[in-house]
Amino acid sequence: MSIVIKKKEQLSQASPLRQIASAAAWVMQNADHIKIDVGRIPDYYRSVCSKYSLITHLDPAHHFFSPDKEEMAAYILALDSINFGSGYFDGGLEYTVIAEGLKTAFETGELYRPEQWLDVTPEYFSWLLSVPVNDLMILFARHLCASGEKIMAEYQGRVLNLVEEADASALQLAEIVSGWESFRDISVYKGQVVPFFKRAQILAADMHLALSELKDVDKLTMFADNMVPHVLRCDGILEYDTGLASAVEKGVYLEAGSTEEVEIRAAAIHVVELIKQEALLQWPQITSVKLDHILWHRGHESELYKRPRHRTLTTAY
């Protein structure tokens, strides 16, 4: 059963980060290019969630580990400062390559302090990740430098001071970082502001995995990128109209902030919230973050990973 929710007039006004879920729901109420097969959700969550283990810690095969909490916090901030660029990925570059590259840089002492980030260059990232100098390497250097400048100027050079300012709250940490220009992630859809803040939220969630001491992670939404909506489309939960489906299949780049791109990201958030509402009846510990992890890993199964997903040149994801 595919449904189109009746259109509504406008979004409510509140803190942008706290309105991500409601804004996504509003987009889907007004969507032109995507429909949700709501009737499949109850069976879908049971079949998918039963196949995957919940993530409770970072994978040591890909991520840096240290008994020093400041070093761990610094690694997470560095990683999520450059955790973007899927639209640029080519020739084998992907998230695990970036995470492992930073792991090496931290283990060798090249980037383990924020003050070192101030001098990072595109050429350094090109060498670290074994890719040519390109626009993405330029953006990586710019964004890591920006995070280093923030920590040096406002937090005495210590990332843990940032965590302390957030009072060990995942939501507050995401809200603080969402105010940084390099983490900005807001679109305008049909005249209304639609916040996403993918990287600000994943920073908070990753910091919790690294430090095991952040509260209210359950207040975060899923992380709107191009993997989870791809999974939901492949699994028949999302239906794209003919034009959008053709563009995605042909690898046509969708402009960041375009109607189609906003609807894709919003659809993923809204569906995950619907899945969570259904799953909470039998799975009280489930969160949007945990569902994101499950769907993200499903997206890396070969039959889904080889299929094209939407591509956008953006620093949001």
| pLDDT tens string 161-220 | 999 999 999 999 999 999 999 999 999 999 999 999 999 999 999 999 999 989 999 999
Half-sphere exposure of 291 (CA within 13 A, CB side): 34
Spacing of C-alpha 174 from chain mean position: 12
Domain with residue 80: its CATH number is 1.10.340
* Residues 264, 300 share a domain: yes
Question: Would you say the pTM of this structure is higher than 0.95?
Answer: no
- 229 shares its domain with 289: yes
DSSP-derived secondary structure letter, 3: B
90 and 178 belong to one structural domain:
yes
Same domain membership, residue 48 and residue 77: no
Q: Which domain holds residue 50?
A: 16-55+218-305
Residue 195 within any structural domain of the chain: no
Is 316 inside any structural domain? no
pLDDT digits (tens, 9 = 90+) for 63-83: 999 999 999 999 999 999 999
Amino acid at 165: E
Tokens of 32: 């032109």
Count of domains in the chain? Answer: 2
Query: Do 172 and 281 fall within a single domain?
Result: no
Tokens found for residue 70: 């400041």
Say whether both 83 and 136 belong to one domain.
yes
Q: Any idea what DSSP says for residue 188?
A: E
Catalytic residue from among 80, 185, 225, 292: 225
Structural contact between residues 223 and 245, judged by C-beta atoms closer than 8 angstroms: no
Does 92 reside within a domain? yes
Quick one: tokens of 6?
């009746």
What's the CA gap between 202 and 298, in Å, rounded? 18
Q: How confident is the model at residue 57 (pLDDT cuts 50, 70, 90)?
A: confident
**Residue 21 scores a pLDDT above 70:** yes
- Pair 76, 177 in one domain: yes
Domain boundary among 154, 178, 211: 211
Q: Is 206 a catalytic residue?
A: no
Please check whether residues 144 and 172 belong to one and the same domain. Answer: yes
β-sheet bridge partners, residue 195: 186
Per residue in 3-20, is it b (16+ CB within 10 Å) or e — as a string? eeeeeeeebeeeebbebb
Pairwise CA distance, residues 154 & 146, whole Å: 12
Residues 177 and 101 grouped into a single domain = yes
Angle at 21 between CA 303 and CA 18, to 5 degrees: 130
Q: Are residues 180 and 246 in the same domain?
A: no
